[in-house]
Structure 1
Amino acid sequence: MRSPNELFESYVEHSYRYYQLDEPVIPDSHFDLMCVDLLKVFGEVTHPDKRLTSEDALQAGTGFQMMFKWPQWVKDRVAE
């Protein structure tokens, strides 16, 4: 089982792949479940980039609010 911070990073990564690159690697249904899981543990997330999302965005199943605010670590991770 992934930690809340690992789940958050996965959410940011898949949002970046979907919204910025238009190259998703997981089905929408998996992303929706990821949002539900992250919402359950959102209070435990201590990641420095937590401000990029909100409970409202997770409830809506979106990462669009992060457009043009992508942290460098997610760009680097996807480029690997």
Structure 2
Amino acid sequence: MTDIHQELATLVAEASDGQISVAEALAESESLGLLGLTSMGYVRLIQAVERRYGVAVEVDDDLSTLDTVPALAAYLRTSAPPTS
């Protein structure tokens, strides 16, 4: 597990108002929705990811690619602005 996975799992836990633990978010390989992340939770998660990592998640993007912590990490690797 990398630091980014831990950070993203923490954002998932916060977005779910504690309904999903960091450990559960890290362990889920199919869908955060299966753990109970609601549509409002996804909105909060996307907003938190945008703020934290400086990316813009476009509405036209396929949001199913953001449905697990590893998928979120992969999305950030391809979407994050370069650091100097």
TM over 0.5: no
- The TM-score with structure 1 as length reference comes to 0.29
* Higher RCO structure, 1 or 2 (CA under 8 Å, sep 6+): 1
- The structure in which a higher percent of residues are helix is 1
- Give the TM-score normalised by structure 2: 0.28
